[in-house]
């Protein structure tokens, strides 16, 4: 299961720059009018570096199983490469729509899974 989670995480990150990257992507595309594919690539780059630094912060308060982390990193890298190659072939408007649908779906899921509170 860890391999599947790592692969999906990598693909989604490479393809949609999901999660916190959505804020950065929204800003780059809609506020400063950057091209969609460049914005997503920039977001992944920025978040990759910030995630490395966040890992050091989390390591002080969370006990990581290093073997699982290494497996997730390797599989996520593979997924990220696959996702970024797929992303280059998808038109920008389709990327933005699919990305928006995923974020809305996750928000609705989160809302209802918490009994109606975010």
Q: Looking at residue 20, what is its pLDDT?
A: 66
What are the extents of the domains in the chain?
Answer: 2-113
Find tokens 């992507």 and name the residue.
25
Q: What's the DSSP call for residue 82?
A: H
Compute the average pLDDT of residues 46-61. 76
Predicted model pTM? 0.69
Burial (CB count <10 Å: 0-12, 13-18, 19+), residue 68: exposed
Q: Looking at residue 51, what is its pLDDT?
A: 75
User: Tens digits of per-residue pLDDT, 59-99?
Assistant: 788 888 889 988 988 998 999 999 999 999 999 999 999 98
- Helix, strand, coil percent content, the chain, rounded in steps of 5: 80, 0, 20
Q: Looking at residue 13, what is its pLDDT?
A: 54
């Amino acid at each position: 299961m860890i391999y599947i989670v790592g692969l999906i995480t990598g693909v989604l990150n490479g393809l949609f720059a999901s999660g916190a990257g959505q804020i950065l992507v929204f800003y780059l595309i809609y506020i400063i009018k950057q091209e969609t594919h460049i914005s997503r690539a920039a977001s992944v780059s920025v978040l990759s570096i910030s995630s490395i630094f966040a890992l050091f912060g989390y390591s002080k308060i969370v006990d990581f199983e290093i073997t699982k982390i290494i497996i997730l990193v390797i599989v996520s890298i593979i997924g990220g490469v696959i996702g970024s190659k797929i992303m280059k072939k998808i038109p920008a408007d389709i990327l933005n729509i699919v990305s928006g649908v995923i974020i809305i779906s996750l928000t609705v899921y989160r809302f209802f899974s918490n009994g109606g509170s975010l």
